[in-house]
Structure 1
């Protein structure tokens, strides 16, 4: 299952683990990504807390925690090659994985159809 936030993050949910990245819409708006600051493994965040930063040739943007949880993995390949956020934002360009501590929060997030309508307004 994939969910989307109003801050243009996506989450691919597998049980109580979610892989998080920025959406195609977000990377289009940012332009060429040149740097990504990812959180430390083991850090616990609450929903909507800033968990990282993505910088592009146009701007810098915060990456927000889409749900309460603990960072269990970060994408080391993205640190080495930030352009993955542009070339494959929904695949190899993922940012981090979290162990969800409040899975019910996902119910308030958007599905693909709702997000597409939201992003195109």
Structure 2
């Protein structure tokens, strides 16, 4: 299972990469594997400021739908156009490259130091093993 050391993780299987005051958020390799092939990614919260653990969207697979939870507080400034139904419409990008081209949203952080409660790679690896 791929768990990059340079990312932070949540117990709900989102990953976050923090660069300055911008966080890129997606779902982990473990999560996409458990869901199987994604058929739809919905994010209707672009432009909204959300608290940590608020639902910011959903991912839909053939047999299930799962909520996406904010790993950090902030304003959602972008939704990956590759995944957007009205643009690229390629939700399987999350399956193919969950830590790269399959990112889901970019967030302008309310507090760039807001890492409390996030797991490092070792802690996340222990959680999923």
TM-score of the superposition, structure 2-length normalised?
A: 0.88
- State the Cα distance separating 1:102 from its structure 2 match: 2.7
Bigger fraction of residues in helix:
1
- State the Cα distance separating 1:33 from its structure 2 match: 0.2
The runs of at least 4 aligned residues of structure 1 exceeding 6 Å deviation read: none
The runs of 5 or more residues in structure 1 that have no matched partner are none
Tell me the alpha carbon deviations over residues 38-68 of structure 1, each in whole angstroms, 9 at most, x when there is no partner: 1332111111000000000121000001111
Does the CA-based 8 Å contact 1:39-1:71 persist in structure 2?
no
Return the alpha-carbon distance in structure 1 between the equivalents of residues 49 and 106 of structure 2.
12
- State the Cα distance separating 1:115 from its structure 2 match: 0.5
1:5 matched to 2:1? The reply is no
Tell me how large the CA RMSD over aligned residues is: 1.1
Return the alpha-carbon distance in structure 1 between the equivalents of residues 44 and 70 of structure 2.
10
- Aligned pair partner of 2:125 in 112, 116, 120: 116
Return the alpha-carbon distance in structure 1 between the equivalents of residues 13 and 114 of structure 2.
16
Q: Which moved more, 1:96-105 or 1:5-14?
A: 96-105
- Please name the residue that 2:41 is paired with: 36
- Please name the residue that 1:20 is paired with: 25
Tell me the SS of whatever aligns to 2:116: helix
Aligned pairs, number: 120
- Please name the residue that 1:71 is paired with: 76
TM-score of the superposition, structure 1-length normalised?
A: 0.94
1:83-94 alignment, distance < 5 Å: 83-94=92-103
